[in-house]
Structure 1
Amino acid sequence: MSNAFVARSLDETRFWSRIMKEHSLFLRLGFRCEDTRLINEANQFYAIFESIENKANSFSIGTDPQTITRFNEEVHNAVSHIWVFKRKVLDLILRCQLPGANNFPLLVDHVSREANYFRNRLAELNTGRLEPLPDAIIDENIFFLRIMADHAKFISHLLDPSERKLVDQANHFSNEFDQLIFQARDLDSMRPQSQTAPLLDQFLDQNRVSVKSLRDFKKTARELIEACRVKSIIHPLLADHVFREAERFLHIIDMFENSLSGKPLPPPQSMVISDHS
């Protein structure tokens, strides 16, 4: 159990600390030149999570679990602070205190939801109170399906309007994932009667098909953006960022399906997916 705790903790922190670091960059790029205090705060968070990411990568599965417990507490504190920062930025935007800035309110809410997810996961790991498998399957899918729906909306709005075919594809994915979210919430409201192995297995299979299609679309978009073959205001790192989150979701679906069927779990994502730069 100690090895599993260390492996799971490091996998979560290696993935999400990089995501938090990149959120800091994306928020900074969306601020106005005169928003120097917010820019400085974003830069500070970038440095904090880069340090956390490096520290996580320096540990191994053989690291003492008590060391990882203390590290998780340190990371939880940092994530709680960036969550507060993100909600403050959202409040400023919704109160029209940042006119002309380029951060969508939904994007800021989106990145704050991911921070909240990360800090909750760290707390669960340190207390050893992970959800039972049937609950985790529904809750994780509701969370990630909404993340995927948001990504499709962001891509649609950040592509140049003249990229009509790609915009239409992004809008199609937005509608598809909105429908999947409604289905997931229906399954949620039918708990615990809905938590049979056949229903949960079908739920995962259906979501996998849609997530794979969206993942492939994101991969194509990333390649087009990096090659300057598409008109958009999407930062190349953002294109890679949303691709990695789709990969993460697919990995989680794999873990759930293997757990339902009793198959061996796949290795942590941080051990099988290399960074893209």
Structure 2
Amino acid sequence: MADAFIARSLNEIQFWSRIMKEHSFFLRLGFRCEDTQLINEANYFYNLFEGIEQKSYSFREDVDPATIQQFNMEVHTAASHIWAFKRKVLGLILTCQLPGQTNFPLLVDHISREANYFRNRLFELNQGKLEPLQDAIIDENVFFLKIMADHAKFIGHLLDPSERKLADQAREFSHDFDQLLYQAKDLESMRPQSQTQPLLSQFLDQNRVSVKSLRDFKQTAKQLIEQCRIKSIIHPLLADHVFREAERFLEIIDMFEGALTYSGQQVAIRH
């Protein structure tokens, strides 16, 4: 049990601390030259999460769980602070106090949702109170389907308008994931009656197909951007960033399907 806690904690921190670091970089790119205070804050968070990321790789397998619990608390505090920074930036944008900056309000909201997800996960790990499987399947998919829908919208808006074919594909993915999100929200509102093994299994199967398609689209776009073969204002790191998040979602779906199959077998054995 202690080994699972350590492995899960470090896995979450290694993935999400890199994401938080990159969020700081993307925000900084969108600020105006005169926004020196905001730029300095973004730089602070970049360095903070780079340090956390490096530290997370320094722990040995036999580390004391109490040490990881303390580390989780430190990272939770950092995630809470970057969440507050992102919400502050969103407020400034929505009240028109940063005219000319280039961070979409939806993007700032998006990255603040990810910071909130990260800090909540660390809290749950430290409390030893992860959600029951059936609740986790629905809640994780609601969260990640919204993330994927947002990504498709960002890609569509950051491509050059002359990239008509790719922009159309991005819009199609946006619509597809909006529909999947609505379906997930319906399943959410129908629980606990909706939390049957057949319904949840179909839910995961359907989402996997669409996430794989979007992941492949992101991978192609990433390669085209890196090779300077398409016109866009998408930073190559952003292309890689959204690709990694789709990969993460697929890993979570696979984990859930395995756990759901196992729990179904257990029920069958008991009966």
Q: TM-score, normalised by structure 1?
A: 0.94
- The aligned residue for residue 120 of structure 2 is 120
Aligned residue in 2 for 1:237: 237
Residue type matched to 2:258 in 1?
A: N
User: Is 2:121 the counterpart of 1:160?
Assistant: no
Listed one character per residue, the Cα deviations across residues 128-187 of structure 1 (whole Å, up to 9, x for unaligned) are 010000000000000000000000000000000000000000000000000000000000
Whether 2:190 is the aligned partner of 1:194: answer no
Segments of structure 1 that go 5 or more residues without pairing to the other structure are 264-277
* Shift of residue 59, structure 1, vs aligned partner: 1.3
Amino acid at match of 2:148: M
| 1:69 is aligned to 2:69 | yes
Q: Summarize the alignment of residues 1-277 of structure 1 with structure 2, pairs less than 5 Å apart.
A: 1-262=1-262
Q: After the TM superposition, which segments of 4 or more aligned residues of structure 1 sit over 4 Å from their partners?
A: none
Aligned-residue offset at 1:262: 1.5
Partner secondary structure for residue 58 of structure 1: coil
**Alpha-carbon separation, structure 2, partners of 1:34 and 1:146:** 33
What one-letter code is carried by the residue in structure 1 that aligns with 2:50? E
- CA distance, structure 2, for counterparts of residue 59 and residue 250 of structure 1: 27
**Structure 1 residue 61: Cα displacement:** 2.9
Shift of 1:72: 0.1
User: What secondary structure, in the 3-state scheme, does the structure 2 residue paired with 1:129 have?
Assistant: coil
1-structure distance, mates of 2:62, 2:194 = 39
> 1:98-142: per-residue Cα shift (whole Å, max 9, x none)?
000000000000000000000000000000010000000000000
Distance 2:124 2:60 in 1: 20
Post-superposition offset of 1:60: 3.2
Q: TM-score, normalised by structure 2?
A: 0.96
Query: In 1, Cα distance between the equivalents of 2:223 and 2:60?
Result: 33
Specify the SS of the correspondent of 2:57.
Answer: helix
Q: Partner residue of 1:274?
A: none
Cα deviation for residue 229 of structure 1 reads 0.2
> What amino acid maps onto 1:252 in structure 2?
I
- Partners in 2 of 1:58 and 1:249 — Cα distance? 26
CA distance in 2, matches of 1:164, 1:200: 37
Distance, in Å, in 2 between the alignment partners of 1:133 and 1:94 is: 37
Distance 1:74 1:192 in 2: 35
Number of equivalent positions = 263
RMSD: 0.7
Secondary structure in 1 aligned to 2:125?
A: helix
Aligned partners of 1:59, 1:144: CA distance in 2, in Å?
29
Please state whether the residue corresponding to 1:150 is helix, strand or coil. helix
Separation (CA, whole Å) in 1 of partners of 2:100 and 2:227: 29
Where does residue 267 of structure 1 map in the other structure?
none
Structure 2 residue identity aligned to 1:16 = W
Deviations 1:53-99 (A, max 9, x none): 00001113321100000000000000000000000000000000000
DSSP-derived class of the 1:32 partner: coil
